[in-house]
Amino acid sequence: MIYSDDEIEQIRQADLLVSKTLAEMGKILKPGISTLQLDKIAEEFIRDHGAEPAFKGYEGFPATLCISENNKIVHGIPSEKVIIKEGDIVSIDCGTILNGFFGDSAYTFPVGEVDEEKLKLMKATRDGLYKGIEAAVAGNRIGDIGYAVQSHVESLGYTVVRELVGHGVGRHLHEKPQVPNYGKRGNGKKIKNGLVIAIEPMINMGSKDVQIANDGWTFSTLDGKPSAHFEHSIAIRNGKADILSDFEMIDKVVYQNK
C-alpha cells in the first residue's frame, strides 16, 4: 500500500493517540498495579478520544494492550494476576483505530530502580529501532532495515527474535510488507515514498529462542532471560522516514524525576 500525504496525516493522528495512551500508562505504572488495571484505563482513554482499541478482538485477542514484562517478549494478556513489581521492565504495545486508520507503537518502561543489565538491553533495543529507521529511506530495501537493527544489537551481544516481525500499517493493523528485525543488505522489497510501516525490534538478553504460553498468545524467552521491545510507525516521505508515533511525550513522564 502507498499512502497519500493526507492519509499519512490521519495515520499520524492515530499514532499520536497511541503515544498519549502510553504516556498515560507511564504515569500509573507503579509497583502493585495489575496489568488488567492498566488495560482498563487505556481502553477508556482511547474511547474517550473518539477512537477504538485496535488489538481488542483482533484474531480473538481479548484486551486493549499487550503487556509483556521481563522475560515475556510480546503479546502478554493483561490480567489481575499479573502485578507490576519494582525493577520490572514492561513492554506495553498499543494500537488504535481513529477515523478508519490504525496507529501502532510500543515502549518498554522501567519500573523504579532497574538493574543495569536490563537498562542496557532496553537502550540497545531502542537504539536498534532508530538504526532501522535510519535505514528506511527510499531506494533502500526492507532487508536493509533488518540488517541495521540486527548488526547493532548483535554487536552488543544481544539476539533478535525471529518469530515476530514489523509490518505495513495504515488501513489495517497488519499489511504487507513484513519487516523483519534481521536480514541482509539489499534484500527484500524496495522502500518507496508513501510506504507506512511499523518497525518493532524484540531483542533478547540471552538466546533468541522463544516459547508460547498455553494462552496461545504470550511469547516468552525460552531461557527465561529478559527481552525488550520498542516500536514506531513511520512513513516514507520525501525519501526518508517520518516518525508518526512519539516517544518524547512518554520519556517526559518516565524520566522526569531521573
Chain contacts with Mg ion (rule: CB under 5 A): 93, 104, 106, 198, 231
90's CB contacts (< 8 A; 6+ apart) are 29, 67, 68, 69, 70, 84, 108, 109, 111
Q: How far is the CB of 257 from Mg ion (least distance, A)?
A: 27
Q: Where are the alpha helices (DSSP H) in 115-247?
A: 116-135, 142-155
- The answer for 160, left when phi > 0, alpha when psi is -120 to 50, beta otherwise, is beta
Between 54 and 111, name the residue whose CB sits nearer to Mg ion: 54
Burial environment of residue 186 by CB neighbours within 10 A (0 to 12, 13 to 18, 19 or more): exposed
* Residue 219 C-beta: closest distance to Mg ion, Å: 13
For residue 166, what is its C-alpha cell? 514489523
Which C-beta is closer to Mg ion: that of 88 or that of 93? 93
Q: Which is nearer to Mg ion, 174 or 185 (CB)?
A: 174
Minimum CB distance to Mg ion smaller for 49 or for 185? 49
Amino acid making up residue 82 = V
C-alpha cell belonging to residue 187: 534484500
Q: Residue 243 Cβ, how far from Mg ion at the closest point, in Å?
A: 14
Of residues 7 and 104, the one with the C-beta less far from Mg ion? 104
Q: How far is the CB of 169 from Mg ion (least distance, A)?
A: 7
Q: Minimum distance from CB of 156 to Mg ion (Å)? A: 23
